[in-house]
Structure 1
Amino acid sequence: MEQFSDNCDLKLLREEFSKFAKRVEELEKRDQILARENEELKTRIKVLEATTERQQDEIDCLKNTQEELIGRKIMDKEQFERSKMNTTDSPVDGTRASSQGDNLRRIKKGSEELTVAFFSTLSHALVSPGHGQQIIFDNVITNVGNKYNVYSGDFRAPIPGIYVFSTTILTGNVETGSYMFKLNGKPIAGVYVVNSSGTIQVVLDLNFGDTVAVHVDAPRVTIAGHSYTTFSGFLLNQRIDHPTIVGK
């Protein structure tokens, strides 16, 4: 009878242990789910922060555009009054009037030029990135105009114009891969990395608000960090479409 009782106790202990093990497994699965949800929430927060920053940039840009238009109207009026005075003072000297007008246009042109340039690198390696993943060059070295978004990895054009962009991609272990420049999410030009390194430069005619970024085209290829992978761009020539602007 005593041996039978011991066997029953051992059986009960095994059942309790099995239940405990299942409970631990359920808790571990729940922790994994919560960890994934936490990462998703962090990603959403970053996206919301990037969206908020973009919207604020657009608001600031619209305010600056409004102020520029007001300033241009005032400047145009002042220049018109000066040209009238110059014409009245020396109506015969057409060469002087033309020269003064050219000088005013050159001054106006220089005052309206906007400087936009950025240079950013990848500080850490990207291991097995997914197809279509947008590369975030997180180490910002130059960001004149503050139009490169370090949270999302893209550049947003503040004004219409001709822009130049370039990227250099370094992969690990003599791997090959392909990467793509995308304009507003659409592919425009790509680079195929051979022998670990590849570079591409593009010249784009952008409108206000257009975005440019570098995306992974071939997945599962490690991208080297430590500032060997870079993304840069600058405004080459501002395109003035407003009819009141002269000198362009």
Structure 2
Amino acid sequence: MWYLLSLVITLLINCKCVDSATESTISREEFENLKTSLHRQEKLIEKQDRKIQDLQATVSRCAELSQRQENDISRQSEQIRQLISFISGFTGQNKRHENSGDTVKIPAIERSYVKSAPKVKRYEPNTVAFFATVSVTSLDHLGGHQNIVFDDIVTNIGNGYNNHHGVFVAPVSGLYLFTTSIMSQQNMEFWVNLVVNGNIIVNLNERGTDGRHGSGSQTIIVSLNQGDDVAVQNAHNDDAFYGDKYSSFGGYLIQELVSETSSIVG
């Protein structure tokens, strides 16, 4: 529409410029300004058209949303109506039973509560293990073949180790591993035996020199019967050892011995 109007104005101006000799002529610059103004008007109209289209789309979306809300309200109203009807019917039934002397029992909702029992940690019945250290700083003037007492028990599963006598008694028959580590006094030498039932299995010797302590260790694997005893003994008279948790004795059951019984048929 504006394009046609612009074209008509342009034709009129051209006719006026050509045919009217007595009237003042429109300059070329004025003509260009007029065309520019018309062009700006066309752009403004296009922009307004786009705004109108956006507004129409917004109105359509609002109408759609409003329709959805009305549908939701209708469904909720129907649900409320059904609930009121159910309550009214139940109340009327309850009143009829009250008039007749009967009672209406509403079934209770049963709730089951599962109380979680605390987890109890247990070792297998055949688990045997112990570890103990010497807590005192120094063990002095030990006699020959005297047990070294590792008094501080760290582990004693199966209660096989006695920290008053420094001896382990096998609670079950089986294959065992034992280890000991002994530290000497400064500039002093010691001799130690690891014994089973009083019989020497291995020896251990160490010496501290240059004002320092010396430390040695031994490990054995032996098969024991139930009731056999194992200990770490001082070999010579009047030896001394350094404790303070530097000297230790420990062991554990590798595999329990299972006795096989054979039956004679005949």
* TM-score under structure 1 length normalisation: 0.51
CA deviations 1:39-84 (Å, max 9, x no partner) are: xxxxxxxxxxxxxxxxxxxxxxxxxxxxxxxxxxxxxxxxxxxxxx
Give the deviation of 1:113 after TM superposition.
6.0
Q: Distance in 1 between matches of 2:238 and 2:164?
A: 22
Letter paired with 1:204: V
Structure 2 unaligned spans of 5+: 1-122, 209-213
Letter paired with 2:254: L
Letter paired with 2:174: G
CA deviations 1:139-187 (Å, max 9, x no partner) are: 0010011110111111111111100001001011132111001111122
Give the deviation of 1:219 after TM superposition.
2.8
Change (3 A) 1:230 1:112: closer
Change (3 A) 1:193 1:241: same
Q: Which residue is equivalent to 1:114?
A: 126
Q: Distance in 2 between matches of 1:222 and 1:163?
A: 28
Secondary structure at the aligned position of 2:139 is classed as coil
Q: Is the 8 A contact 1:113 1:238 kept in 2?
A: no
Change (3 A) 1:149 1:189: same
Q: Which residue is equivalent to 1:232?
A: 250
Give the deviation of 1:221 after TM superposition.
2.7
Structure 2 residue 223 is matched with structure 1 residue 205 = yes
- Among 221, 224, 241, the residue aligned to 2:239: 221
Secondary structure at the aligned position of 1:123 is classed as coil
Q: Distance in 1 between matches of 2:162 and 2:257?
A: 23
- Among 148, 151, 159, the residue aligned to 1:135: 148
Structure 2 residue 141 is matched with structure 1 residue 123 = no
Q: How many pairs were matched up? A: 134
Q: Distance in 2 between matches of 1:155 and 1:242?
A: 26
Deviating more after overlay: 212-221 vs 222-231: 212-221
Give the deviation of 1:233 after TM superposition.
0.3
* TM-score under structure 2 length normalisation: 0.48
Q: Distance in 2 between matches of 1:233 and 1:128?
A: 26
Q: Distance in 2 between matches of 1:146 and 1:192?
A: 29
Give the deviation of 1:197 after TM superposition.
0.9
The 5 Å alignment of 1:1-248 reads: 114-124=126-136, 125-195=138-208, 196-243=214-261
4+ residue runs over 6 A deviation: none
Change (3 A) 1:112 1:239: farther
Q: Which residue is equivalent to 1:26?
A: none
Instruction: Select the structure that is richer in helix.
Output: 1
Give the deviation of 1:220 after TM superposition.
2.5
Q: Distance in 1 between matches of 2:216 and 2:141?
A: 18
- Aligned sequence identity (%): 34
Secondary structure at the aligned position of 2:181 is classed as strand
Q: Distance in 1 between matches of 2:248 and 2:133?
A: 4
Q: Distance in 2 between matches of 1:227 and 1:197?
A: 12
Give the deviation of 1:188 after TM superposition.
1.7
Q: Is the 8 A contact 1:171 1:221 kept in 2?
A: no
